[in-house]
Copies of this chain bind each other. A is one copy, B any other.
């Protein structure tokens, strides 16, 4: 059946770092745990190490070394390793379960909710995250993110930047790749999406990796849109 294929219909969002501030949230959660369990620790270093374990863990799944494993489980595997490396002992199973769930409670960047609400009036908005469904649903409820639906690597058993994740998302939305825009703060994610035919929206998050980091926040001519934040993105997309 011939489907009319007009312009942009849906925006799909990278989540960790683009929509939510994983680092600030994990540091707060770490301090809270430290207070409760009497742990003296550099929680910023702990947060950075937790996140640093993420790409190598996904690479083990992408290469086939590990069978399909959700981010919740990968986060927990990395956590167990970090507890040893940071010399943290005596946490109960419930402590560890709850701390791992910090990833379900990440706080949105200040412009995220307002920008998404505005974009939703004109476009379908969904996640396109390496997080798993339960994590993203819990995060949306906690942070007030008004997704039309949650789409993620778990649905395809392929982590970004595997093309299956980008093409599978367009297929589930019954759209051509060019009718879908990936919004992300990470240029490698956007370039992988563009290679699959998706449109690209770059939103820099200069504080993602902390106040002393120097991430690449330069706009690029090959992205469909470069915006300052989600509210600016809505304005540029006529929403």
Contacts and interface: CB of A to CB of B under 8 A. Distances in A.
Given A155-B155, A173-B134, A4 B149 contact: no
A147 interface: yes
A239 interface: no
Interface of A: 1-4, 70, 72-73, 76, 93-94, 96-97, 100, 124, 126, 132-134, 136-138, 140-141, 147-151, 154-155, 172-175
Contacts of A174: 70, 72, 132-134
Given A1-B97, A136-B149, 6 more contacts: A3-B97, A124-B137, A134-B174, A137-B148, A140-B149, A150-B150
A200 to B, nearest CB: 22
28 contacts: A1-B93, A1-B96, A1-B100, A3-B97, A4-B94, A4-B97, A70-B174, A72-B174, A124-B137, A124-B138, A124-B141, A126-B137, A132-B174, A133-B149, A133-B172, A133-B174, A134-B172, A134-B174, A137-B148, A137-B149, A137-B173, A140-B149, A147-B149, A149-B149, A149-B150, A150-B150, A154-B172, A155-B155
A189 to B, nearest CB: 21
Contact of A1 (B76, B151, B155): B76
Most chain B CB neighbours (cut-off 10 Å) among A70, A97, A140, A172 = A172
A193 to B, nearest CB: 19
**Shortest Cβ-Cβ A-B pairs, 9 listed:** A134-B174, A149-B150, A133-B172, A137-B148, A149-B149, A137-B149, A134-B173, A2-B93, A1-B76
